[in-house]
A and B are shown apart, each in its own frame.
Chain A
Amino acid sequence: MDPAIRISPESVAPADEALARQDASLIDVAGLEFHYGKIKALDGVTMKIPEKQVTALIGPSGCGKSTLLRCFNRMNDLIENAHLTGGRVKIHGVDIYGSDVDVMELRKRVGMVFQKTNPFPNSVYENITFGLQLQGVKDKTKLDEVVERSLRAAALWGEVKDRLHESGLSLSGGQQQRLCIARAIAVEPEIILMDEPCSALDPVATARVEELIHQLKKKYTIVIVTHNMQQAARCSDRTAFLYLGKLIEYADTRTMFIKPSDSQTEAYVSGRFG
């Protein structure tokens, strides 16, 4: 495991250096190719994802956006016959597909929230502490602190502070999704990947998660896959449009929704793509 992956930037960089890096790229993707068996899912994707911003990946079903997202924490490694066949992904300048990378450590640094809410069938408290307990943390005071901090950061503390020992599955869909976000935050990642996090939520729960995303970007780098154009427009700072595995256009979100350069992007964001 390369130290650059293991150590958070705050611990290695003086304050002024950290400030200077605010706009720096955190994830650097170059010529990325990915195959599911013989099917090419990503075809030469090159992009730089900035730190502490929200980057949205949009495109029609099957365009490769979820595959790209899962490349950022090597979740694709778990899929049979799925292979990175070209290019690289660097985080903090370190090739995360390098042979010496500790994948579990990488996934700790790069958390993930899925489309379908998936709390463990345990208590709210245990959902949050699960990752830490796996790491061997047993100190009750420390665990209590993390639970409160994570739930507060996920804007859920006020709603569940008296239900910490009830099942996570007893929460509403929107609360379950925020619980999953709290669980991802608990292990103090730098990057949070979200794969259509609101697709199963009603408008109020969606608004809460979007508000949360807006708050979280002060501390975390967020990459979100969404089919909801308005959500991409509302939540993200930068937007990438993918089609047939290729990155068609990648720019600040304002440009993508007001004056995209590519006619394919224009057709997609306008809903004229069928």
Chain B
Amino acid sequence: MIGFSDIMKRFFDTELETFRSNLVLMGEIAVRQVRQAIEAMVNADLSLAEQVAAADDELDQLEIKIDEEAIRYMSLRSPVATELRLVIVGMKASHDLERVGDEATNIVRRVARLSSEPPLKSYEDLPRMAAMAVEMLRDALDCFLRVDAEKALAVCQRDKDVDEINRALYQELTGYMIENPKTTNRALELMFISKSVERIADHASNIAEEMIYLANGEDVRHTEATRNPDAS
């Protein structure tokens, strides 16, 4: 049997550690971006909104770096098995995290527009929905650290809860516009913000699916298992 003494440490193992660290860092930044974007909306904090927009570049650069590292590793180190899955999943997850950053930036751009008018309604559903999306994102990233397919599947299954709130908000905001057309601009901005949060949850779900592939090599995309807890 192979014991610990038989498993070699290779001179390029640190390259994968750096690759992992960069993905974790990207995840932390993306989570922070979303939290701050919603905080900026609730408090009409334009200074915080600017900070969020400015930090997007950091995520973009990290995505490029992760892609470069992955291509280099695949070309020079010929990874197989867990390493191969890690490199592929890392590239895909970094793309999702970059898109999360883009959605956070979209939200703060709309915050700037909303701030010039009085709030249409008290912000309750959107922060709740955003908290759910952030929690999904955090859990998906936790699955990366712990290689936990079961927890990752549960993240995917939570996506529909966020979708439901988004649908309800859409109907409520449409009602505002019908009742009072003067609310149209604000209602549309909130609809777009809601859509961005819903997209962030989608990206969290994608990352969770990727973590399932990392853990057990199973591709669960577009399967009933990710939607229905009873099917898994």
Contacts and interface: CB of A to CB of B under 8 A. Distances in A.
A257 B81 CA distance: 5
B6 interface: yes
Chain B interface: which size bin?
10 to 19
Interface in A222-261: 229-230, 233, 243, 255, 257-260
Interface residues of A, number: 20
A91 B84 CA distance: 37
A269 interface: yes
A274 to B, nearest CB: 4
Contact of B2 (A255, A258, A263): A263
A90 to B, nearest CB: 30
B83 interface: yes
Nearest to B216: A259
A236 to B, nearest CB: 14
A134 to B, nearest CB: 44
A259 B217 contact: yes
Given A230-B78, A258-B217, A259-B217, A270 B2 contact: no
Given A233-B80, A269-B80, A258 B7 contact: no
B217 A267 contact: no
Which applies to chain A's interface (DSSP): helix, strand, loop or mixed? helix
A271 interface: yes
Given A267-B7, A271-B10, A259 B2 contact: no
B1 interface: yes
B77 to A, nearest CB: 9
Given A258-B217, A259-B216, A259-B217, A270 B6 contact: no
Given A230-B78, A258-B217, A270 B83 contact: yes
Given A264-B2, A267-B2, A272 B7 contact: yes
Contacts of B2: 243, 263-264, 267, 273
A165 B216 CA distance: 57
Contact of A259 (B6, B7, B78, B85): B85
B217 A274 contact: no
Given A258-B217, A259-B216, A274 B84 contact: no
Contacts of A233: 80
A266 to B, nearest CB: 5
B231 interface: no
Interface in A110-132: none
Nearest to A266: B81
18 contacts: A243-B2, A255-B217, A258-B81, A258-B85, A259-B85, A259-B216, A264-B1, A264-B2, A265-B81, A266-B82, A267-B7, A269-B80, A270-B83, A271-B8, A272-B10, A273-B7, A274-B6, A274-B8
